[in-house]
Amino acid sequence: MSRPPGPRRIAVVAPSPVSMFNLAIPEMLFDKVEVDGRPGYEVVICAAEPGPLPTSGGLDLYVRHGLEAVREADTVLVAGTGEPFEPESRIVTAVREAAADGKRIASLCTGAFQLAEAGLLHGRGATTYWAHAEELRRRYPQVDLRGDVLYVQDGPYLTSSGYAAGIDLCLHMIRTDYGAAVANEVARLALVAPVRPGGQTQFTQTPLPPERGIVCADTRGWAMRNLDKPLTLTDLARHAGVSVRTLTRRFHAESGVSPLQWLLHQRIERAKELLETTTLPMDQLARACGLGTADSLRTHLVRRTGLTPSAYRTQFTRLGTTTQTLTSSAA
């Protein structure tokens, strides 16, 4: 069924004491989505009790909306809290009812405790901030807790780890709703890393860890603009003005992976974006993202996602896809 026109509604539920950073993430990202000249989302922040709401930083926020916003939303996103992070009964009930209505339910950081208390994560994969993972496991042993990923999607339920992993989860949701091109454009506008895979059930894998420095940032940006070229370690080191050994050490310190592992990840992400947004033949698409041949593209994509390029394109193609002619600068 086609979706009626209008923005998707997201109710961001703020438990007490809410993390101000958690509230800032959906506002920063979802509000930047524009599709065909219209907003892609309508975001409403709500709480169990409208009015002043304590934050984990010691300030009070004034929240205008109560949990009636959950009933009107397409997606419910529960923010995390500082300690103590005890589930709130009214929030738990609202989330459980929203799930029964078939809504998409997500959480940031310790918001997973609210979902687990509602029984939504029973027998399902989930994650939370690593510092509180053992507490979640102790309280809710029925949850299939995955502590080595940024975020997990298991059916209609999504959970993220702490802090910046919430950005990755929201970008993943944008990509699911509107495609890779829109999600990556939002990432560029927000000056954050492009869409990174998490622990989605269909594509289970360990994502790239968060970048922790900027020494190699110019080289990473240069490589992203030249993915169609057969870049080598020597090419990357020459651009960075250092030896291969120094580049490898610095790159791993900042990105958590080797330069070539990072480069392969970006090539595959670029291939997925082109599969979603163009009708390019497979050989041309493989060259555009630096994977060489259609056979190489197929090998890497199947290993990463479990889907062939044709199957991936069929499943994720967005309306309005057109054939593109790519130059090296566009790749």
Strands 51-54 and 60-63: antiparallel
Give the strand pairing for 151-154 and 144-145.
Answer: unpaired
Question: In which residue are the tokens 């057969």 written?
Answer: 230
Residue 84: its pLDDT value, please?
Answer: 57
Classify 36 in phi/psi space as left (phi over 0), alpha (psi -120 to 50) or beta. left
Compute the 3-state secondary structure of the chain and give helix, strand, coil in percent, each to the nearest 5. 45, 15, 40
What is the pLDDT at residue 185? 87
Which H or E run contains 144?
strand 144-145
| Residue for token pair 């939002």 | 186
Residue 106 in tokens: 């997500």
Q: What is the pLDDT, as a whole number, of residue 163?
A: 83
Helices (H), ranges, 73-206: 89-100, 112-117, 133-139, 165-178, 180-189
Distance from C-alpha of 154 to C-alpha of 23, rounded to nearest angstrom: 23
- Return the number of other C-beta atoms located less than 10 Å from residue 316's C-beta: 18
- Tens-digit pLDDT profile for residues 63-75: 999 999 999 999 9
Counting other chains too, the contacts that 295-300 makes at CB distance below 8 Å and 24 or more residues apart are: 297/271, 300/264, 300/267, 300/268, 300/271
pLDDT at 322: 40
CA distances from 191 to 99, 194, 195, 239 (A): 33, 9, 12, 22
Cα distances (Å, whole numbers) of residue 16 to 40, 69, 127, 213, 250: 28, 17, 20, 33, 40
Kindly write down the DSSP assignment for every residue of 169-224, as one continuous string: HHHHHHHHHH-HHHHHHHHHHTT-PPP-----GGG--PPPPPP--STTHHHHHHHH
Residue 88 backbone phi and psi in degrees, to 5: -100, 125
291-326: per-residue pLDDT in tens? 999 999 999 998 887 788 998 888 776 544 443 333
Per-residue pLDDT of the chain (331 residues; tens, 9 = 90+): 344 467 999 999 999 999 999 999 999 999 999 988 899 999 999 999 999 999 988 889 999 999 999 999 999 999 999 775 789 999 999 999 999 999 999 999 999 999 999 999 999 999 999 889 999 999 999 999 987 788 999 999 999 998 888 999 999 999 899 988 888 889 888 877 666 655 433 333 334 444 444 567 888 889 999 999 999 999 999 998 999 999 898 888 887 788 999 999 999 989 998 998 899 999 999 999 999 999 999 999 988 877 889 988 887 765 444 433 333 333 2
Rounded Cα distance, 12 and 291, in Å: 40
Token couple for 160 = 């993220």
